[in-house]
Structure 1
Amino acid sequence: MGLKKKSRKGEISIGNNNGRIRLRWRVSGERFSLNLPFDYLPENMHHATIKVAEIKLDLVKGCFDATLEKYSPKIETPQVNKTEIIVPANTQVDNLPVLLGDLVKDFNNWAKNIRNVDIDNAVDYLYLRRVLERWLDIEVSKIAFQLNTADWSISTYNRRLTMLQTFFTWLVENGKMTANPLKNVRRRRNRKKQKNTKRTPLNIDEIRLILDAIKNNTFCSKSSFHKHSHYYPFLLFIFSTGVRNAEAVGLRVKHVDLTKKRVEISETFARTLKGSNHSARIQKGTKTENTRFLPLQKELITLFKRQILGKQPDDFVFPSPKGLSIDDQMLQKRILKPILGKLGLDERDLYAARHSFGTRAAKQGIPVTDIAYLMGHSTINTAIRNYISVEAPSYKLPSL
């Protein structure tokens, strides 16, 4: 493989340890080493670079796991075909509650007291409880077969299977069942996810067209009580930073630090099953329960100076015309959708602003670890999957 060059200070080196890949680095003077279960071959180097990026991201975020347990590769067992049922039809599990209906009360208790969720406002838990309520007369021992007959997408199936496996494990640990009927049921193989066309990234020219139309009330009726331009600061912010809709809706004056020229993203004002209007929303942490700080450039600093002027720390930075939280669904339906149509652009939802930011950042050469941090991803994999693409072939090899 040739002579190994000494890595620069602060870098993570990728080396050959008895034919296998090894990573080595230092943190605060302490040396760390991580062996990967892959042969030291060119075709395996992508495993190393992804792991290096993951470690670097945690170092930037301040959540580096010094035990290295988080970074130890998990060797996955072979996946099964989605039509294949792991539990045979004649499997008998003794001493289980007879029907799924007997478990609804325990599910509510588990969700509320063990998972610490408000089940009425947690979509996944609420819908799964409704599934159990529909399957009241299904025998517990046949739940694997019932799951396989459900007309769900692969991601929904896998998500609900995982939740039920965790629930049944808790029942076993607490003596309510003697065995987990889903223990050996494996997740379905997730084929390449179809892209949501309404979230197709917009290019810079298209973004400017949209923002100019909003700012200048180009397509706003003269008789309209609320002008489109009221939403210009909100839309400029999400297109400029790629924050999630609920993060922008819930941004408060106390989160803006003009002295340090940064904004803190640490909470959301999220919609619930009751709707997206102000009274239906609840205050929550971010999707990944982390806090990040976004740098503010000149245009956003000027914008924030106007937006927070004369407001209290807990006031919304981007209120609705009535001083409440912005209803992002109504904004999309009543303003964004008609404007896109009149501009001759394909329909998008507001989340396209986030995808546009990530794609733009990747094309401009921003490191994937930085993109993951700025967008609040818990790992770099989401950024790689959504924003790092090979839209055009490369006709040039990298120089030595």
Structure 2
Amino acid sequence: MGPTKKSNKGEISIEDHRGKIRLRWRYNGVRYPLNLPYAYTAENMHHATVKIAEIKLDILKGCFDPTLEKYREVPSQSLPIRKPARQKGSPIQQNGSQVDRGNQDDNYPINIKDLLSLFVYWVINIKSVDIENTSYYFNAKRLLEKWKDLPIDDVPEKLNSLKVAPTTYNDRLTCIRGFFAWLFKKGKIPANPLDDVKRRKKRKRLSDKRRPLTETEILLFLDAIKNDTYCPAASQFKHSHYYPFFHFIFQTGVRNAEAIGLRVKHVNLVLRTVEISETFARTKKGTNHSARIRKGTKTENTRYLPLSDELLDMLRVQVKDKQADNFVFLSPKGLSIDDHMLQQRIFKPVMKALGFGDKDLYVARHSYGTRSIEQGIPATSTAYAMGHSTVETVIRNYVAIAKPSTSLAQISKKN
């Protein structure tokens, strides 16, 4: 491993203390040492990494335990690898003699509690995600903690017994299956028990809140926003401030967080394109500016959307006199837009005032997808523009609710 390197001030150092891992750091003027029950080897460094992440997070949250009892660990054996069950009557060598154990085998149960620290390590270091601020991984962690005494072979049955919506079930399945796949790759478990488990099918029913608007309805809404038609006279901030944001999401169909996280450097006025490569995403802490974090797009892809003359003119005004890393769309206070509050305080009231019913902000995206298909744009192009990973998503969500075909493709007869 080599000599221990001195860490920068304020950091937690990893030391070799009599062949074992020891962490040292200073907090509020007090120096803390924490001995871990693991040999100081490269293979055990992930234990130190996980513990450092836990301590740093507690310091940030203001719940650091100065007694260190919260962070001490009981020495644990390395995870056993389960051997295939021995066939009935197979002899086992014991003390130099053959012993027949009948149906007994050498399987060792691996419980979820044996894997919890590895799950945290996997999320933080392999997936590069802040587990405390990402609902997808945080909720999966809470579920695994609830099942801590469950053998991993029983996970499929336990997961299937969850009485949750298909979307929630599929999220937990995908997350835990990915974790198990990593464990299997690293030789920690002999097989992935979730390999053959199928996702639950979602009911193909579009909520009225996201039922697409017609072009006429969209224009009426944008006009009402632009002219402050339904803005209360006593309102401190006018609806028209948000007109560029509404205009952009209806015209491009991008996700809310993608539009909120759009930065000046992503707008190319010369090439007439806008780059969609990151989001300013909400977390379980909320949707306000301080609760959001910068992330990649949902499918971790980058796409470039062409700009119409109208969008180009609008964005030229939005990016004027701003720095490259500034947001294109800002709240009246100069912060990122809170889409939840925008939906509740402006979008929904205006939609109801226009007689369009109770609509979610996401209806802008559904309206774009449907309009794109209706106007004859290929599903592949629509999928690219909307940032979908597969064409099937477009076909499932938008083709079925677009205008029905008025004729069938013909086969011309040869004379």
Instruction: Report the TM-score, using the length of structure 1 for normalisation.
Output: 0.72
Q: Partner residue of 2:170?
A: 158
Cα gap change, 1:346 to 1:390, in 2 (>3 Å): closer
Which residue of 252, 264, 267 corresponds with 2:275?
A: 264
Residues 1:349 and 2:360 aligned together: yes
Distance in 2 (alpha carbons) for counterparts of 1:286 and 1:344? 34
CA drift of 1:168 comes to 2.7
Of the two structures, which has the highest relative contact order with CA contacts closer than 8 Å and spacing of 6 or more? 1
Cα gap change, 1:139 to 1:222, in 2 (>3 Å): same
1:389 is paired with a residue whose SS is helix
Which residue of 188, 196, 214 corresponds with 2:207?
A: 196
Q: Partner residue of 1:298?
A: 309
**Correspondence 1:318-337 to 2 at 5 A:** 318-337=329-348
Residues 1:129 and 2:141 aligned together: yes
Cα deviations across residues 74-123 of structure 1 (Å, max 9, x unaligned)?
Answer: xxxxxxxxxxxxxxxxxx992133x4233211211122222332212222
Distance in 2 (alpha carbons) for counterparts of 1:177 and 1:389? 43
1:120 is paired with a residue whose SS is helix
Q: Partner residue of 1:249?
A: 260
Cα gap change, 1:166 to 1:398, in 2 (>3 Å): closer
Q: Gaps spanning 5+ residues in structure 2: where? A: 1-104
What letter is aligned with 2:176? L
Q: Partner residue of 1:30?
A: none
Partners of 1:94 and 1:178 within 8 A in 2? no
What letter is aligned with 2:205? Q
Distance in 2 (alpha carbons) for counterparts of 1:395 and 1:316? 44
Distance in 2 (alpha carbons) for counterparts of 1:140 and 1:390? 42
Distance in 2 (alpha carbons) for counterparts of 1:104 and 1:172? 15
Residues 1:209 and 2:220 aligned together: yes
What letter is aligned with 2:331? S
Q: Partner residue of 2:40?
A: none
Instruction: Report the TM-score, using the length of structure 2 for normalisation.
Output: 0.69
Q: Gaps spanning 5+ residues in structure 1: where? A: 1-91
1:294 is paired with a residue whose SS is strand
Which residue of 139, 142, 147 corresponds with 2:159?
A: 147
Q: Partner residue of 1:10?
A: none
Cα deviations across residues 236-295 of structure 1 (Å, max 9, x unaligned)?
Answer: 011111111111111111111112222111111111111111111111121122221111
Partners of 1:93 and 1:181 within 8 A in 2? no
Q: Using the TM superposition, name which of 229-238 and 344-353 deviates more.
A: 344-353
Cα gap change, 1:106 to 1:323, in 2 (>3 Å): same
Tell me the matched-pair count: 307
1:116 is paired with a residue whose SS is coil
What letter is aligned with 1:266? S
Cα gap change, 1:141 to 1:266, in 2 (>3 Å): closer
- The sequence identity of aligned pairs, in percent, is 54
Q: Partner residue of 1:275?
A: 286
Partners of 1:253 and 1:317 within 8 A in 2? yes
CA drift of 1:173 comes to 4.0
Distance in 1 (alpha carbons) for counterparts of 2:188 and 2:164? 29
Cα gap change, 1:384 to 1:393, in 2 (>3 Å): closer
How large is the Cα RMSD of the aligned pairs? 2.1
Partners of 1:239 and 1:353 within 8 A in 2? yes
Cα gap change, 1:338 to 1:136, in 2 (>3 Å): same
Which residue of 93, 97, 122 corresponds with 1:110?
A: 122
Partners of 1:255 and 1:263 within 8 A in 2? yes
2:298 is paired with a residue whose SS is coil
Question: Which structure: larger Rg?
Answer: 2
